[in-house]
Amino acid sequence: MIDIEALLTDRMEAMEPSGIRRVFELAAKMKDPVNFSIGQPDFDVPEPIKQAAIDAIRAGRNGYTITQGIPELRAAVADKLSAELGWEIGPERECDVMITNGTSAGLLLAYLALAEPGDEIIIPDPYFVSYPQVAVVAGARAVFCGTYPDFRMTAARLEPLITDRTRFIVLNSPGNPSGVVLGSDELRDIVDLCESRGVMLLSDEIYDEFTYADGREDGVFPTPGRFTSQCLILRGFSKTWGMTGWRLGYAVGPSRLIREMTKVNQYSFVCAPHMVQHAGVVALRTDMSAYVAAYERKRDMVVEALGGLTELAHPAGAFYAFPQVPPRLGLSGDAFFRKALERNVLVIPGNIFSQRDTHIRISYAVDDARLAKGLEVLAALMK
Ligand SMILES: Cc1ncc(COP(=O)(O)O)c(C=O)c1O
């Protein structure tokens, strides 16, 4: 008789199942809800990208690839990022690229390469759900940088949290769950702080393309990569091209670090799906600006409906808004979530992304008619 319970590690005890799952399970029981809980675009993968994957399968590109990814995709990513950031990227260069199984895998590989048990990793609060849990896998401790009420993770908020155990800071702009986009001045200050304290910066830029006009500066996406090549940039294909189930992302940063992350990848994920990597080359050439413009209009609908009723940090990117539950209602995020549920609208309570429970996350990646209907319900509840 094997006693599984006795064999399970303390790590498993410390790791919490994703609260988003609980909301998904509730959604499955509801009849045609307005679903503002989903963290993925509502559009399908564009046809040329699908065709590229089909062609790759038919051409027999079904085996393993080298761990760091097929040369064509790595070259396409290197060209894109060196044009954008001016970095020297490629084998034998200062920085290198590796293809990952989604941004999630990039996060895990980076945490394992950079954090020892007992080390500290500073993450924003509110945060993307993986940031504290992956720290558990690495045996490290997540230190929360409170960013309420404006959700701006600034150098001034970070500085007092840095100790001699701090290994890296996770930055996420545009942010999940807030949609807030940091500006160049703020990013430059964070880069300076990291350099002066010898702390690595990990920039999760999965929503880079979903940065609207008011989050851009002269049309350009603000990233710490403009001020240093000594940070790790993680991006992915899940959101921009609607490829969440295809598991494709990339990491670009100092070659020494990419080499170690590749080593961990050899013994874990092995490689991103071969045919998907070929489709990724086509994705990088596929213009999504019309889709992004449609999401910018949805964002405007959210701000217009709720901005006057409660505190709402301006969401200049991603496809989320994180309004406060108006304090005069005397409800927690979870209590408001239940009230919305009774009206057939599904949001996510703020405590799933935070140590606090005062807000709700709305994903507005839904069609305009449903968005309008759901916003009407939320606005009525907030009045
Ligand atoms: C901020 C952030 N980072 C990473 C991910 C993971 O994305 P991927 O599908 O590339 O693993 C998500 C997905 O919701 C996210 O919101």
CA distance 263 to 79: 24
Q: Tell me the pLDDT band of 348, cut-offs 50, 70 and 90.
A: very high
d(CA 382, CA 336): 9
Which of 20, 104, 180, when mutated, tests ligand 1's pocket best, judged by the most ligand atoms within 8 Å of its CB?
104
pLDDT at 277 over 90: yes
Residue from 161, 164, 67 nearest 109 by CA: 67
Output the pLDDT for position 28.
82
What spacing in Å lies between the alpha carbon of 282 and ligand 1's midpoint?
Answer: 21
- Ligand 1 environment, Cβ below 6 A: 39, 102-104, 128, 172, 176, 204, 206, 236, 238, 244, 249
- Averaged pLDDT, 374-380: 98
Ligand 1 centroid distance, CA of 103 (Å) = 6
What is the rounded distance in angstroms from the CA atom of residue 104 to the CA atom of residue 250? Answer: 10
Give the Å distance between the CA of 328 and the centre of ligand 1: 34
Over residues 167-177, the pLDDT tens digits come to: 999 999 999 99
Report how far residue 341's alpha carbon sits from residue 325's, in angstroms, rounded to the nearest whole number: 15
The per-residue pLDDT for range 86-105, each reduced to its tens digit, is 999 998 899 999 999 999 99
**Residue 118 has what DSSP assignment?**
T
Q: According to the model, what pLDDT value does residue 259 have?
A: 97
Is 363 in a helix, a strand, or coil?
Answer: strand
Ligand 1 atom closest to residue 39's alpha carbon, by position in its atom list: 14
Domains of the chain and CATH, by start? 4-45+288-382 (3.90.1150.10), 61-284 (3.40.640.10)
Q: Tens digit of pLDDT for each residue in 15-43?
A: 888 777 778 787 788 888 999 998 999 99
Q: What percent of the chain has pLDDT over 90?
A: 93
Distance in angstroms (rounded) separating the CA atoms of residues 183 and 340: 34
Whose alpha carbon is nearest atom 16 of ligand 1?
A: 176
Distance CA 42, CA 35 (A): 11
* Band of residue 281 on the pLDDT scale cut at 50, 70, 90: very high
How far CA 253 is from CA of 73, 102, 130, 132, 158, in Å, comes to: 16, 16, 21, 22, 22
Shortest-distance atom of ligand 1 to CA 247: 9
What mean pLDDT comes out for the span 216-231?
A: 97
Give the ligand 1 atom nearest the CA of 237. Answer: 10
Residue 351, token pair as written in the block: 């405590």
Looking at the DSSP assignment, which residues form a beta bridge with residue 106?
none
pLDDT for 17 equals 80
pLDDT at position 25 is 81
Question: Mean pLDDT over all residues of the chain?
Answer: 96
Q: How far is the CA of 353 from the centre of ligand 1 (A)?
A: 13
* Amino acid at position 207, single letter: Y
Q: What is the pLDDT at residue 29?
A: 84
Cα dihedral value 319, 204, 72, 259, nearest 10: -160
Contact 316, 303 (CB under 8 A): no
Contact 209, 223 (CB under 8 A): no
Residue reference for tokens 């849990």: 133
- Average pLDDT for 39-66: 97
Report the nearest atom of ligand 1 relative to the CA of 106: 11
- The whole-angstrom separation of Cα 243 and Cα 5 is 37
d(CA 34, CA 302): 14
pTM confidence score: 0.97
Over the stretch 127-169, which tens digit does the pLDDT of each residue have? 999 999 999 999 999 999 999 999 999 999 999 999 999 999 9
pLDDT of residue 24: 79
| Residue from 238, 241, 363 to probe ligand 1 pocket by mutation (most atoms less than 8 Å from CB) | 238
Q: Which pLDDT value is given to residue 294?
A: 98
